[in-house]
Chains A and B, each alone.
Chain A
Amino acid sequence: MSGMQRSAEQGSGADDSARQRAGIVERIVVRPTLPRTFLAMLRDTWREFLDAKVLYLLLLAIAILFGIALTGRIEPQPGGRQYLDIAARAMAADLDGIDIATQSVEDVAGRLNGSLYAITSAEPVDDDLPGGRWRVTMTRNFVPLVGQPESDEEISGRFGRIADGEMWKVAEIRETGSAWARKIGAQTWEMTVAPGRDLRLLWPHRFTLFADGVDLAGTKGAPLGLEVLILQKLLATGLGGTILLLVSVVVTAAFVPNMVRKGTLELLLVRPIPRWQLLVFKYVGALLLVAALLGILVGVVWLITGVIADVWSPGVLLALPSLLVFFALLLSVSVLTGVVTRSVISAMLVTVAYWAILFIAGQMNNVAVESRIREANVGKVRPTSIAERIRGRQPQRVEPLKPGRKPFYRTTLGMITEGVYAGLPHTEDLDNLVDRQLMRDFAVAGPFRALMESAEFSWERGLGLTLLHTVAYLAIACTIFSRRDP
C-alpha cells in the first residue's frame, strides 16, 4: 500500500445531525501488511533482547573464554619418523578411497597387495618438524613372478597417500638396489620426501595456555587435529554453545510471558492482525537474534583456532545450524510454556528441564546403543580405526559380560531409556553430525567411538524429528493463544 489514504466519510449508521455535529474526522485507513508486522515485531524483540542485562554477562563470559583460548600456544614436537614408517607400511594395501577416520585396519585386510615395505633409514634434512623434509631409504619385498617390480613413478604416486589424505610427497627418488636383488624380489629406493598437506594434523603438538603456564597435551604432545577438534568442540558446541544457549533460554523465556501479561496483551490484541502472527513473529524474531549470536560465536571459534593453530577447515561452521535447530526446539517449548502459564520462571524452568531430559535420555540411549553393539561383537576383534592405529592403539577382542549380567539395553532401565528416547526429538544426532564432520576434517575418531559404531545415527532423522516437535509445540501454543480470552 502506498502512502496513507485519508477519508472524511462517516460510518454507515451515522445520521445527518450527528454528521453535522461531528464535523470532519481525519482518519487513517491503512491495512497492516505481513512484512510491516514482521519488521515491527522484530524490532520489538530486538529491543527487549538488548534490554536484558544477562546478555551482557553472556558476552563477557564468552569474551573471557575466548581470551583464555587466545593465550593458547600450539607447538609441534619431534615425531616424523613414525609417520614415515606408517606411510611405508600402508603401501602394502590399496587404500584408495577409504576413510582413515572411520575405517579400521581390519576393513582393508582384503586390499593387501602381497608386498611389504619398510623404512630402513631416515634422516631429517632440516628439523624433525611437520614442515621438514627427510632423506629416506625404503625397501620393498615381494614374491617374484607373483608380483612385479615397481617403477620410481609408481612409488612416487603411492608413497604417503592414504585414501584422499596426503601425508607425504616424494620430491626426489632413485632406485639403488642391484638388478640381482630385484630379480629375487627386493627393491631399494633413496628418496627425499616433503610433508603433504594432511601431515600436520596428525603430527604431535604441545598445547599450552597462559604462555606455557598450563600444559594441556603433555610433553610428547597430541595430534594437532585432535587438539583442534577438542578446542572447537569445547568452544562451539560444548561450553561456549551451552552457555550461549542457556543465556538465550533465560533471556527469551521472558518474551512471551511479558507479552501475554494482563494490561500488555490487550494493547496487542486490539490491532487488526491475527493473533498467531504476534506469537510466531516474536518467535522468529528471537530465533534470528540467537542465530546472530550463534553465528558470532561459531565464527569467532573458527577464527581463533585458525589463528592459534593455523587450521582453517570449515567443519566447525556446521555447529551454527546444529545449535540453531536445537535452540528452535527449546524456544518453542519456552513459548508454549509461556502461553500456558504466563510465567517467566515456569517458561525458564520447563525449558531447562526439557533440555536436561533430552541430554540425559540422549546419553543413556548412547549407553544402550553401545551395549547392543558390544553384545553383537562379543568374541570379535573390536575395530580400531587407521587413525587410531597410527597413534599406537592396539586392537582388542570384545569380552563377553560376566555371567548373570545383562547388557544395559535389556535391563528395565535400558528399555525405559530406549522407549523414552523414541518419543523425543533426537537432538543428539544434530550434535553427532557436527562431531562426525570434525572427525573427518581432523582424521580422529578416538573419543567418539560409540558414535562411529552406532548404526542408528542419522542426522536427517534427528533434524526431521526436531523440526517436527518444534512446529508441533508452536502450533499448540498458537491454538491456545488464539482461542483464549484475555
Chain B
Amino acid sequence: MVVSVKQLEKQYGANRALGGVSLDVEPATLFGLLGQNGAGKTTLIKILLGLVAPSAGTASLLGRPVGTFSARREVGYLPEDHRLPEYHTSTSLLDLYGALQGIPRRDRRRRAAELLDMLGLAGREKLRIRGYSKGMKQRLGLAQALLHGPRVLFLDEPTDGVDPVGRKEIRDLLLEERRRGVTVFINSHLLGEVEQLCDRVAILRKGKLMVTGTVSDLTRQKGSWIVGFDRDMPASFGFPGATFEPTETPGRIRVGFEATDAVAAGSAAEADSKEKEAIDRFLEAAGAFGLRVRHLERERATLEDLYLAIAEGGGMP
C-alpha cells in the first residue's frame, strides 16, 4: 500500500478533527478526498505529510512511518491557499525548494526548466511571483510539488483559479503521473472534476470516513429514466412496477423502476440489461397508448448526489 492509515485520530483542543479514520490506498491511484470545509481532509493530508502529529492511530507512507525524512523525500505537496514567497521568480523558487529537497544544482535547474515548460510558464523566468496571476501561481505550485519526482502527490485544489484549458492540461499531467506509477491525492470541491479524473474517492464528514470506493461503484445506476412525450401523460396511463414523478422541466417525467442489484442479477451487465428491458417495455406500452417519445435519458447517481446526500444526511443515498 502507498498509504495505510489505521484508526487515525486528531484532537485540536476541544475540536475533534479526525475521529478514527482507516484507509488504504494502492499505488498508481488517483485518489479523491471529498468533504465539506472542516471535515478533516486537510488534517488527514497533513498527518500523512508528517506536518501534524496524530493524537492516536498509525499512518504509514510507502511502508515507512509518516514524517520520517525518507518518507518525506517521496512526497510532493500543493497546499490549499498556498502562498509562494513573492520575492522569488519561478526559477529561483524551484531552485530553493529543489535544494531543500536535496537535489544537486545542475539537476534541479534542468528539472525546473522542464517543468516550467510543461506547465506553460516558460519565458517568464524573470518575472517575480508578485506579478503572477492566480492560475500562474497554481501552475508554479504544481511544479514545486513535482520537482523531485515524488511517488506520492498530495494536491489541495490543484486546478483552483486555472482556466478551462489549463485545467485540461493539469488533468492530463496528473493522468500521466499516474501512468508513471505515481499515486495522487486530490482534495477538491469540484466534484465533476474529481468524478472525471479519480479512480477512487473517499468522503469525509466531521472527521469520519463515510464512504470509500471506486467512482464507478459509487455512481452506479439509480434505476430511473427521464422521459419526455409529445404531450402530457394522461393520468389514466399506468405501468406496473414503475413510479412517476414530475421533474423541473415541464413535459418531462422521471420514471423509476426498482434498481436491480448487480449481485442479485448475477452481474453488472445483467442488471443493466434487465433495466433496459424494463424501459423498453414501458415505452412500448406508452406507444400503444398513443404517446410519442421526444426525450429519453438514463439517470445515473453523480458524485454530487452522493456527496450532497452524505453532507446533508450523513448516510448513503
Contacts and interface: CB of A to CB of B under 8 A. Distances in A.
Interface of A: 1, 3-4, 10-15, 18-19, 21-33, 36-37, 39-41, 43-44, 47-48, 50-51, 258, 261-264, 266-273, 485-486
A486 B180 contact: no
Contacts of B102: 1, 30-33, 36, 272
B62 A13 contact: yes
Contact of A30 (B49, B80, B101): B101
B138 to A, nearest CB: 12
A12 B149 contact: no
B46 interface: yes
Nearest to B3: A13
Given A25-B151, A50-B87, 8 more contacts: A11-B151, A14-B2, A22-B180, A26-B149, A40-B95, A47-B92, A271-B97, A486-B52
A48 B129 CA distance: 12
A271 B46 CA distance: 13
Contacts of A43: 92, 95-96
A485 B151 contact: no
A48 B128 CA distance: 12
B100 A4 contact: no
Contacts of A25: 149, 151, 180-182
A264 B82 contact: yes
Interface pairs A-B: 6 shortest CB-CB: A22-B181, A40-B99, A32-B102, A51-B87, A263-B83, A272-B69
A268 B50 CA distance: 12
A123 B76 CA distance: 87
Interface in B17-49: 26-28, 46, 49
B75 interface: yes
A272 B98 CA distance: 11
Interface residues of B, number: 54
Contacts, number: 157
A226 to B, nearest CB: 45
Interface of B: 1-2, 4, 12, 26-28, 46, 49-53, 62-63, 69-70, 72-75, 77, 79-88, 92, 95-97, 99-104, 107, 111, 128, 144, 148-151, 179-182
A11 B63 contact: yes
B215 to A, nearest CB: 17
Contacts of B2: 11, 13-14
A24 to B, nearest CB: 7
6 contacts: A14-B27, A31-B69, A37-B99, A262-B81, A264-B85, A485-B51
Nearest to B82: A263
B27 A22 contact: yes
Contacts of B50: 270
A30 B99 CA distance: 10
A23 B82 contact: no
B73 to A, nearest CB: 5
A74 to B, nearest CB: 44
B181 A48 contact: no
A263 B79 contact: yes
A40 B104 CA distance: 11
Contacts of B82: 263-264, 266-267
Given A23-B180, A47-B92, A485-B52, A3 B104 contact: yes
Contacts of B62: 11-13
B23 to A, nearest CB: 14
Contacts of B27: 10-11, 13-15, 18-19, 22
A21 B199 CA distance: 13
Nearest to A258: B85
Among A12, A23, A270: residue with most chain B CB under 10 A: A270
A53 to B, nearest CB: 11
B88 A24 contact: no
A267 B81 contact: no
Nearest to A266: B79
B181 A10 contact: yes
A133 to B, nearest CB: 63
Contact of A270 (B12, B51, B85, B128): B51
Contacts of B26: 15, 18
A47 B91 CA distance: 13
Among B75, B79, B81, B107: residue with most chain A CB under 10 A: B79
B104 A4 contact: yes
Contact of A24 (B75, B104, B107, B181): B181
A9 to B, nearest CB: 10
Contacts of B96: 40-41, 43-44
